[in-house]
Structure 1
């Protein structure tokens, strides 16, 4: 079968590899669409934590079941499915408390072990969700949107509160969308005016602020001097994450959604003065996947404009470098099989 392997930073190779065999409890899935994530781009550039080469990337997957045994989900051959790519141990303290998204032995497809940038993959049957009623491209972005849905659920948003989302990439956009669905008044903060305009149209964000224009002053004005009670940083940028503390209200919550391969520091007296709650948000759970699938089926999310670039499987290698350039205008790139 055709497989694209990231051999080392900045180098892909198209190879012929053996068809995987589904073990007990697994299903053989034909891959139909692969969404390209920031994690994939970072791994290609050599900037992804917890990563080794060579690696088959790809964890935003839409597929079709080819083979499956008896299972508790009632899945059968021919079913369209989304793949939950986080393989937990099921035994550690996080798993025992239902927090499978931060398992101590977490293996993420396409990161810690080979992913779906190939024609077929064998995955645990209990990590497949039936995607009836969704298009292939919608199914492939379920994982991406679930990251935002999980962050919003973790923040426990109260309807009517101000939520600032820093970073208008795909993950930040997902946070904005699910914060809006939770009833928040959303403020989008980014440096790209075109992307901010898209936030107003797509989320839709209630307010947008350009980081180049004295953002603290603007955010204070929007919130009547109180500042947002919840702030999400979805940039994966150390400078942005360290600066984000200044935007949170007294008694508020700061959620780091993006991951950066660096140490972070903050001014402790300011942190204590505000009695901030600082939390991270990692991956997502099956509950978040189900919430996203239901939201897509209900028509709450515009996927047509979200997916900006499409390419066939064998043409992906030649297109990849362009997706790393801001001027390309990529929100979500999709690989078709």
Structure 2
């Protein structure tokens, strides 16, 4: 079967892979859609933590079950599914405390092990979610949107809070959408003014802040001098994640949704003075996937506008580099098989 491998930084190649064999407890899934995410782009550029080469990328997936045995999930051949790509051990302290998303022995599909940028994969049945009621396009969006939903749930945000979301990429947009759904007053911040306009239109944010134009002063105005009680940084950018401490209100929470390959430092006196809570938000849980699926079924999310670029599997290697360019205006690229 065909597959695309990232051989080393800045090099993708179409190759021939062995088709996976059917195993008890797993299902063979024909991949039909692959979403391209920040992890794929960081891996391509050599900036992804926990990553080794060569690697078959791809973990935002939807497809159709081609072969499956008896299973507790009630899945059958022909079902449309999306993949929960976080393969946990089930035995560590995190797993035993129902935090499978941050398992100590985590193997993320397409990061630690080869992923779904190919024609067929074998996946444990308990890591599949049936999505027969939505399109394959929408199904491929569940994973990235679930990361945003998990961050919002983790922050315990409540109606009426001022929430700042830094970074208007796909993950940040998901955070904005679900924070709005919780009743928060959402402020979007980015250094791309076109993206900020998209935040208004797609996520219905209450305010936007241009990150290169004195953001502290603008946030002071928007919040009547209080600053946001919850700040989510979804940039994966070291400078942004360091500066984000400055934007949080006294007694507030800072949630790192993005991941950076580096060390972050902050002022301890300022941290203690404000009694801040710093949180990491990693991956998502099955509950997050099921929540997002329900939201997608309701029609509240406009996928047609969110998916800005498409191509066939055979053309992806040639187009991938262009999707990194700002002038491409990529929100979410989707590969079709």
Between the aligned partners of 2:175 and 2:82, the Cα distance in structure 1 is: 20
Report the Cα offset of residue 22 of structure 1.
2.3
Structure-1 residue corresponding to 2:136: 136
Q: Identify unmatched segments of 5+ residues in structure 2.
A: none
Distance of 1:286 and 1:305 partners within structure 2 = 26
Alpha-carbon distance in structure 2 between the residues aligned to 1:218 and 1:46: 35
Q: Tell me the TM-score normalized by structure 2.
A: 0.99
* Superimposed CA distance per residue, residues 106-152 of structure 1 (whole angstroms, 9 cap, x where no aligned partner): 00000000000000000000000000211111000110101100000
**Is there any run of 5+ residues in structure 1 with no aligned partner, and where?**
none
Partner of 1:91: 91
2:40 is aligned to 40
Partner of 2:262: 262
* 1:301 lines up with 2:301 in the alignment: yes
Is the CA contact 1:22–1:123 (under 8 Å) kept in the aligned structure 2?
no
Question: Number of aligned pairs?
Answer: 337
After superposition, residues 230-241 of structure 1 pair within 5 angstroms as 230-241=230-241
Aligned residue in 2 for 1:14: 14
| 2:158 is equivalent to residue 163 of structure 1 | no
How far off its partner does 1:167 sit? 0.5
Look up the match of 1:187: 187
- Cα offset for 1:56? 0.4
- Between the aligned partners of 1:56 and 1:129, the Cα distance in structure 2 is 22
Q: Which residue of 2 aligns with 1:63?
A: 63
Cα distance in 1 between the residues matched to 2:270 and 2:301:
38
**Deviations 1:142-181 (Å, cap 9, x if unpaired)?**
1010110000000001111010000101110010001011
Deviations 1:43-72 (A, max 9, x none): 011110100111100000001001111111
CA apart distance, 1:182: 1.1
CA contact (8 A) 1:227 1:249 kept: yes
Normalised TM-score (structure 1): 0.99
SS at structure 2 position matched to 1:304: helix
What's the RMSD between the two structures over aligned residues? 0.6
Secondary structure of the equivalent of 2:151? Answer: helix
Distance 1:143 1:71 in 2: 22
| SS of equivalent to 1:231 | strand
- Structure 1 residues 117-128: aligned runs within 5 Å: 117-128=117-128
